[in-house]
Each structure stands twice: as C-alpha cells, then as structure tokens.
Structure 1
C-alpha cells in the first residue's frame, strides 16, 4: 500500500475535502497535520521538509526559495485579503497619520510576515514611508533560519497585542486572527481604508496573496501525477467556493487556482515589495517561482 501523504493546511471551506476518508491522490491516503495557528507549520516545512504538501505564506516561500529550500510553488491561493485595515493603533491611543510613522516604532509579528510585507508596501507606495526609516518591533523570528533581518528590526517579548496595548509601539500590523481576538475595536490608521483597499486592487489588478500551496520538490519530481491530482482537487474546490458566493468579499476574491493574470500580478507585486524591503535580496521572476509547476504539471 502506498504511504500516506502528510498535508498541512488551515481548515477552510475549500480544504475540507482533505478530511474526507475516501479522498486519495495517486493512490495515497492523506494524513492531515493539526497545526493551529497555521503559521506554526511554516518553519518546520522550510527548515525540515516535515510535510509533503503545505500551505505556506508568500513571503516565507520567497525567502525559502532564495535560501535554496527544495520546495515547489503551486498556483493555488489558499488565502488573501486587502491589508490597509491591518495597520492599527490601540483604542484611546494618540492619533497618528500613516505618513508620520517615519522614525517611529511599529509592531509586527515577524518582519517576514506576509501581512507586514503588504502593509509596508502600502506605506511606501501611498504615503512615502520607507521600511528602513521605521523601527519594526517583532515578537517572532523568521521561519527561514538563515534569513538575516535588517538592522532596524528589534525583538521583544509577549504577544503583539500586548506590545501595542502597553504603548511600546505607536501602531501594529495585525492579521485576521489577532484582529479577531482583540479586546475592543482596534483603530485602523489609514483613513477611509475600505475605499483605499479597492483603489489598490484596481491599480494592481489583484487582491494581495497571503498563503499558497507548496509541495516538496522530490515528491513533485517523483510523482507528478499524484501532485496533479491534488492540484486539480484544490482547483475544483476553489472554483466551487467562488461560484457559491454571489457577492464575494476580498477574502473570497483572493482565492485562485491556475496561472491567471491576477495571480501573476499578485506575485509580481509581492516580489517588488519584498525586494524593496530586504525581505529578499535577489531578484526573481514570477516565471521562476512557478518553474517547477510549469515543467512538471502545466
């Protein structure tokens, strides 16, 4: 009997099929890893290749690829969102404009967190705030162990919400899990953020990508048929999820499968922001990111 495939993803409507006892890919059963929050699976994937197939943040994949990790990217977007609203301050704290963050301390879970990548890109693009002119206060190290953080990155202790609450930073980048668990409504710093998000989307012709699907390169090379079956299954579920929503919000609009114009635009913008912020240091093209997929499956 073929060994079980180890797969780790967050539980989304479009990944529920993985838990079906009857689901097989290339004759393999699926062994789902229980990791919550999902980002705790990223370091074991890029450092140890712990899983055959893994959800992975875009910034983490870019860094892992630069570091030479044998992981292949599949054109499957599992999560994404606009992020103007992710830059917040604590209720009752002094008001501050985005352009005034230069020279200030801003919290982010990790400098290489993908939500932080998007927020820093927005700050530079729309408000002229360069990432190197802000002190980024972090509570976690990078998933890719060899990545050297810029000199304006500091580490502190505790949860990021607590760092923001006690006033160690004037603002913080908080993704959906932290925003959902906050006590009281955090205050977005970017004014009229909903309209700003849609304007960004029209300008870039995409919704920012957060997490995509990756696979161990040795599995892709040895069993392209197995990976193809998985890819087709994810694609079908994503298309069904999008078709079921008559008026999808950005989190549903972000879901994609296949090498579409939106996917290419999202990856290219992520690359541009990552280079600008020293999240990666070596230029790379979207075609190079998807080269393994193109050679073995496309």
Structure 2
C-alpha cells in the first residue's frame, strides 16, 4: 500500500525534529514538514486551512469549535507550553509593584483571544484577585503595527478592547498603556537601558511554586488535522498521535545523553536535574488524562473571559481515537 503524503506546519521544536530527520516515521504517512512562526501559522490555518496537519493555538481552536467550526480535528499533542508569570511588563519608572495594582488600568496584548493572554488573565484573576472587567485591553502588534484578531470574536459588554494604532512596545514607553502582556520578550526590554522591567522579576520561583501548588504546566499550542483529511483517512489521526508521542520520547532521551552539550546552554545539566525534581520523568505529557486538570481550568477561563458562550467539554476537543491512552 502506498504511503499518504501530508503536510505538517509547526515550529522548530526538538520534540518534533525526530519526525523531520526520519528517526520516527508515522505509520503509512510521509510528512512534509514546514517550519513557521505561530503568528503566521495560526492566521493561515484559521483563515484558510492551508495545511493537512498543523500546530494550533489552543484558545483559537477551542473558541472556533465552540462556535460550531468543524474544519479541524484535535489531537492531545501539546507542542508548546509556557508559564506566564514572565510575560507581564511595565515601565521601569512605573509605580506598579504587583499584580493587584493592575486593576482599572490599560493592559496591552497582541490579541485578546491568544492562549497566553487567556492563561495570564486567569492567573491575575484567580491568584491575585484582579477584577478583569475593570481593565481596558489595548490590542495590536508588539513590534509592527496593524495586528488584528485572527478570527472574529463575539464578546460580552464587560470586555473592553481598544486597538493601539502603533506598536505595543512603543505604547508602553509612551504611557499609552500601563502594562504589557506579551508571550514574546519585547525589544524594549531586551534593549540596554530600554526603560522596561518585568512585573515579576522573580518569575522563575513563582512559576515553580505555581506548578507545585496546582500541578498545571500551561498548555499553549496543540495539533489539529484538517477534518476532510481525517474523514477520508480515519487511521491518520491515530498514526500521527502515536508518532508525535514517540518523537517526544526520543527527544527527551537525547537531551543530556551526549558527551558534549547538544544545546548552547552552559548549565543544561543543572536545568535538567532541577526540571526532573519539579516535574518528574516527563515534563511534557501528551494525552487527555494527564492534562485534564489544565484543560478544565482553561475551559473555565475561556467562559469567564467571554471567549465562549458556554463551558466547553474538553473531551470534545479531541478525536475519540486519541483518547484511548492504553494503546499508545
């Protein structure tokens, strides 16, 4: 039987690379992997469904599915995760000293619907008691003007969004916004003497404490298969899920298993040992069962923040064949 040619669009992750270099081959599938940055990839997939298989924003997919969009089938393969205590920035001379000070202010964010923003707003509301309805969200491009929401949103009146005509980085410096919520580190923070600081300078310690307390390593991106592909070849979904899982296992095994450092991180071994102490053997689990708590909390946040009209059932986000964990 001939193998099926499929295009996979995603980021350049070590946990995907075994699928690129051939160490892992999905059963019955030849993958053509296209590396793209999230902003471009998500826009192209949400608006044009260009790829057979793609990395996808968890929030954008969940919002679309809750609105009746059936173009994609989800896999519980979570290619991107990140804690978000590090993603809040203020001017260096700002009087703001903690998250409680953000109530009633203007916070910049590239897109209201982006997954990183959903997690960060949830953190502000539930860990620090910030009234999200008191905040005006200023949206726009971080370094280039003109960014808009990747899909149309229907939001309740309590959500106030006001686009920024320029860039969010400059708006922060100019005082047009009081704080910035950004998954990418802004150039004004990296720049020497840039005049910007993190709201949580001790973010690493806070993130470790958050994980120990909640057991949540926030999920950012998942994998979707175009529904027409899954309908024409139902076996594809399970084959891909198994292959992504195997690729991650191969990547984790190779992190420190070398006589020379694989990555340009002088303290890689120390970081890996600290990671194991906090997360255990697998810091990056796939599948619904080990991620149910995080996904249920995320579903609550989507509803609270007006991105869904009713609470989604997290089981409905994924293809049934990927939920049979014992067969992987």
Short-chain TM bin: 0.7 to 0.9
How far apart are the structure 2 equivalents of 1:72 and 1:92?
A: 47
For 2:305, the equivalent position in structure 1 comes to 277
SS state of the match for residue 257, structure 1?
Answer: coil
For 2:83, the equivalent position in structure 1 comes to 82
* Structure with max Cα Rg: 2
**Cα offset, 1:285, TM superposition:** 1.6
How far apart are the structure 2 equivalents of 1:236 and 1:22?
A: 10
**Cα offset, 1:10, TM superposition:** 0.3
Q: Map 1:27-38 onto structure 2 (within 5 A).
A: 27-35=28-36, 37-38=37-38
> Is this contact kept in 1: 2:238–2:321, CA < 8 A?
no
Moved more, 83-92 or 188-197: 188-197
* Post-superposition CA distance 1:64-86 (Å, at most 9, x none): 11122221111111111111121
Moved more, 60-69 or 24-33: 24-33
**Cα offset, 1:214, TM superposition:** 1.2
Q: Is the aligned partner of 1:258 residue 2:270? A: no
**Cα offset, 1:7, TM superposition:** 1.1
**Cα offset, 1:259, TM superposition:** 2.6
Moved more, 213-222 or 252-261: 252-261
For 2:245, the equivalent position in structure 1 comes to 235
Residue correspondences, number: 295
For 2:212, the equivalent position in structure 1 comes to 202
Q: Is the aligned partner of 1:41 residue 2:51? A: no
* Post-superposition CA distance 1:246-298 (Å, at most 9, x none): 4264999652222332x111111111111111122221122222254457997
* Post-superposition CA distance 1:188-240 (Å, at most 9, x none): 21464333322322232120111111111222232232332222121112123
SS state of the match for residue 12, structure 1?
Answer: coil
What is the TM-score when the length of structure 2 is the normalising length? 0.79
Runs of 4 or more off by more than 6 Å in structure 1?
250-253, 295-298
For 2:148, the equivalent position in structure 1 comes to 141
What is the TM-score when the length of structure 1 is the normalising length? 0.87
Stretches of structure 1 lacking an aligned partner (at least 5 in a row): none
